[in-house]
Amino acid sequence: MDLTLSPADEAFRAEARTWLAAHVPRTPLPSLETEEGFAAHRVWEAELAADRWSVVSWPRVYGGRDAGIVRWLVFEEEYYAAGAPGRVGQNGINLLAPTLFDHGTERQRARILPSMASGEVVWAQAWSEPEAGSDLASLTSRAVRTDGGWLLSGQKTWSSRAAFADRAFGLFRSEPGTSRPHQGLTYLMFDLRAPGVTVRPIGRLDGRPAFAEVFLDEVFVPDEDVIGEPGGGWRVAMSTAGNERGLTLRSPGRFLAAADRLEALWRSRADPSDTALRDRVADAVIGARAYQLFTYANASRFLDGAAVGPEASLNKVFWSEYDIALHETALDLLGPDGESADTDWSEGYVFSLAGPIYAGTNEIQRDIIAERLLGLPKGRR
């Protein structure tokens, strides 16, 4: 793995840094988990898209720059280092878009991706159900054939961004009675404002509706909104999950910037005699750098033709537990000030607690690591 960036890559980094310095709002936007903040972040997405910074790795025809995976990583480093706003469109950009590139039709990509890149349409993930979260294949929401499309019925829950988003994507059981639960599932996209859809926000620990329940009562979805073959949705969903856990959802830039902020916080507030806290800060800095190197190694593999595999589970376990440890260290440094509900650190800590749960619980990821990477026998399931 060659970690030396080319002059063209460095020029790209400089261009991104200059643009971000000129455009990142000087006053932080309201939390994107509020209606006001969601709208403000949507405007920010449009500003990014206007100069082709919202989806740098995508083809230009869809609003990107054809920049490739290495420059996407470079852009992410600059983005977080600049303190730019959170991405309200990340479910669509980081999860649905890679799925459409792998399994969608050209017509779907042309219809969906440009409005996703600009923030005009923001997507929610609608996978989990009350009895199907970690065991996704046990879902019961149905897709029933009708003239020209499908009728969706059932309940989804813990749907990220669904409280204020426009559309959603998820799995539905279209062929009941199959011999295996992973069979007979269809991957569909649907409008969250269509007749028959009810969205009920779910508040986090801080009360903000980062998630929602979605109830569907014979919601019509046209055939053009099926991704992949009807009944073959599990394979498509695993493609989405691989991207979610493996590379696109949590780039190293996010953690490098957070580790820098943590180090600055330690220098400004810490008691130098508290060596235990100092060591936790050092661990955070080392962890961020290790994750960066691991991700660049994966990027090299992908450029050589490798696909996202079970190694993605290593990524997911690492960044989700790292994120909690980093924020806990920050709150310990802040002491009583860390109790404030409106600091970036406290909001980040609340969000980090969900990390070991979403994108497949860490218990499931450890099963995958044990069985598929280490070759150990199946355990408790």
Counting every residue, how long is the chain? 381
Q: What is the dihedral of CA 295, 300, 306, 307, to 10 degrees?
A: 30
- The active-site residue out of 33, 45, 244, 347 is 244
The span from the CA of 283 to the CA of 275, in Å, is 12
- Closest among 155, 154, 156, 224 to 189, alpha carbons compared: 224
- Closest among 90, 96, 23, 15 to 254, alpha carbons compared: 90
C-beta atoms surrounding 301 within 10 Å: 15
Catalytic site residue 36? no
Q: Would you tell me the crossing angle of helices 275-303 and 312-334 to the nearest 10 degrees?
A: 150
* Catalytic center residues: 244
